[in-house]
Every structure is written in structure tokens, then in C-alpha cells.
């Protein structure tokens, strides 16, 4: 099985890392762009995207994954990344995928915050063939603000008390000042990743229920550890897309772990996500053989 081909793409002041998974087809109908999530979720899920890129290529679908500027192997500072810059990175990744594959159209497959950004990018482009959203954050600020609970809890370990509430941290972020306590800047989230003012300001304004929508055929997947129904927010989002005339499917996928989290059992693959997505992309006949070969690969 051939591995991905790495290349840095010029993004002005910084270089953005991309990894291209070539497929053995001369004129692919589309290329897939894999859009990762936010903060530590991108680090945890990166290898899942590598395996899925290989499965796509084996099914005859070229794919490209990338690291946002400020993330992973790309240049830049994490704190400077924000929805606007990350969406610009997605646009650059789309052009790179089209250039390298020769395809004129793309499919965007996004995870969590990356799914949210992918939906926003797709809404303003006419070359997105299909859109696959894995557990998109309909109102990402709700999730980001909830994650600040970990920052508050951390204070009880460091200082035996809460020195700064979530609201105080957000107030400081929006004012452009640190939240310094005992030599620590508490303007952080999720394993110590620093937050920037533009990230907070822009994320607070995002609401997929009140934004433009792509006309692309869309698959929305809710990921669970056990069988169950999609969340209320995803049902509302599905209904919103359907009202706009979008051909949209909402489904639930069960994985042994939530693959973007550190859990007691660690997994590097999401085979049910892969299979469901390949079926949606019309690669069902090759699906089992290709996913199984990836899962069994050393």
C-alpha cells in the first residue's frame, strides 16, 4: 500500500503541510479533502484521517489531508489560528487537491469543528460535489465554552480554589489581556492549548442554523459509543438543510470509542465511519476490501 506524498503549500507568511493520497485513476470524478477538528482533537484524530485517506485511495478516490497553519507540521502559531484563517486554509487545500488529482470537483469530509468550517466553505463554492460532516458542531461556541470547565477544574488542583471563572477568562480574552494566576496564563483550553481573541470572537458568531447552505448532497453522521438517536442539534440542522432543498442524510455511527478523545481504550481507526462514508461516496463495492485491508495493515 502506497503512503501519502507530503508537500508544503505557500500560505503567505507561512507554509501549510499537506499529505496527498494518490489513486490509480486517470480522471477522477472528484478528490476528497479531509478537514480536521480543533486543538488536541486534531492530534488525536490525525492518524484516523491517514488510514481513511489510504482507504479512499485504494477505492480509486484521491484524497488530501492538511494541517491548518499553526497546527501540526504547518508553520505558524496555534494562538493566531481562527475560523477565518482556518477556512482560508481549507480553500487552499481544495485548490491543492484539485491541482494534484486533476479533478475539477471535491468532496469535503470534516470532523467536529472542521465539519462546521467545511460546511461554511462549501456554502460559498460551486465545486463541492458532496459534503460529509462527522459530528459537526452546529454552534461551536457552546462546545468551546463548555471545554473551559477543564480550565476551571485545573485551578482547584493548582491553587486549591477557583481564581478565574469561565466568564472572566472570556472577558480577558476579548479584551486582549492574559488571565494570570500564580504565574500561569489561564487563557487556555483543552490540554493547555492557548486561545486567541479572534478565535473567541469569530466562534461566538457561528451558528449553522442561521447561515447559508451548500447545495451539495450532504451526509451528517452522529458518532456514539452505543446505538442511539442523533442529537437534537443535529436533527435541527438536518431539518434546516432539508428546508433549503438540500439532499441530506442524517445517520448514527457506532464506534468503540469517540475517536477524537483520549479514552481508556485508544483506537487509531474509525472503521464504521469509513464504511458509511465510502458507501455514501459510491465506493460500496470496494468498501469492505479496502477498509479491511487498511484495518489489517501494520
Q: 47 vs 291, which has greater pLDDT?
A: 47
- For residue 294, pLDDT over 80 is answered with no
Q: State CA 235 to chain mean position distance.
A: 19
Give 104-120 pLDDT, tens digit per residue: 999 999 999 999 999 99
Q: How many other C-beta atoms are found inside a 10 Å radius of the C-beta of residue 160?
A: 8
Take residue 115 and report the three cell numbers written for it. 465539519
The per-residue pLDDT for range 25-52, each reduced to its tens digit, is 989 999 999 999 999 999 999 999 999 9
Residue 34 is predicted with a pLDDT of: 99
Indicate the domain borders of the chain: 5-138+211-296, 142-202
Residue range 123-128: mean pLDDT, rounded: 98
pLDDT tens, residue by residue, 60-95: 999 999 999 999 999 999 999 999 999 999 999 999
Count CB neighbours of 175 within 10 A: 9
pLDDT at 133 exceeding the cut of 80: yes
C-alpha 178/C-alpha 195 separation (Å) is 10
The pairs formed by 229-235 with CB atoms below 8 angstroms and a separation of 24 or more are 233/138, 233/139, 234/136, 234/138
Distance of alpha carbon 192 from alpha carbon 212, whole angstroms:
33
pLDDT more than 90, % of the chain: 83
Its CATH architecture, for the domain 5-138+211-296, is 3-Layer(aba) Sandwich (3.40)
Q: Say what the pTM is.
A: 0.93
Of 165, 186, 44, which is closest to residue 112 (Cα–Cα)?
Answer: 44
Amino acid at each position: 500500500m502506497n503512503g501519502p506524498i507530503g508537500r508544503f503549500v505557500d500560505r503567505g507568511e507561512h507554509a501549510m503541510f499537506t499529505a496527498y493520497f494518490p489513486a490509480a485513476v486517470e480522471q477522477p470524478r472528484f478528490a476528497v479533502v479531509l478537514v480536521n477538528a480543533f486543538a488536541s482533537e486534531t492530534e488525536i484524530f490525525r492518524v484516523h484521517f491517514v488510514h481513511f485517506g489510504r482507504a479512499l485511495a485504494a477505492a480509486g478516490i484521491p484524497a488530501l489531508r492538511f494541517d491548518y497553519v499553526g497546527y501540526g507540521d504547518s508553520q505558524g502559531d496555534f494562538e493566531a489560528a481562527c475560523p477565518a484563517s482556518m477556512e482560508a486554509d481549507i480553500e487552499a487545500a481544495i485548490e491543492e487537491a484539485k491541482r494534484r488529482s486533476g479533478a475539477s470537483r471535491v468532496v469535503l469530509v470534516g470532523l467536529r469543528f472542521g465539519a462546521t468550517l467545511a460546511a461554511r466553505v462549501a456554502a460559498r463554492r460551486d465545486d463541492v460535489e458532496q459534503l460529509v460532516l462527522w459530528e459537526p458542531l452546529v454552534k461551536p461556541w457552546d462546545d468551546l465554552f463548555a471545554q473551559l470547565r477543564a480550565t476551571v477544574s485545573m485551578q482547584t488542583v493548582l491553587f486549591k480554589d477557583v481564581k478565574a471563572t469561565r466568564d472572566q477568562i472570556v472577558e480577558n480574552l476579548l479584551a486582549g489581556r492574559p488571565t494570570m494566576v500564580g504565574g500561569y496564563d489561564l487563557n487556555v483550553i483543552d490540554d493547555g492549548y492557548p486561545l486567541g481573541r479572534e478565535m473567541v470572537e469569530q466562534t461566538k458568531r457561528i451558528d449553522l442554523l442561521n447561515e447559508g447552505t451548500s447545495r451539495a448532497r450532504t451526509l451528517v453522521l452522529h458518532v456514539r459509543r452505543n446505538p442511539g438517536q442523533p442529537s437534537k442539534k443535529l436533527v435541527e440542522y438536518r431539518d434546516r438543510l432539508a428546508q433549503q432543498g438540500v439532499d441530506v442524510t442524517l445517520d448514527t455511527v457506532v464506534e468503540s470509542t469517540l475517536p477524537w478523545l483520549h479514552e481508556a481504550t485508544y483506537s487509531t481507526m474509525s472503521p464504521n465511519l469509513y464504511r458509511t462514508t465510502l458507501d455514501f461516496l459510491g465506493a460500496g463495492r470496494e468498501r469492505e476490501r479496502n477498509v479491511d485491508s487498511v484495518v489489517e495493515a501494520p
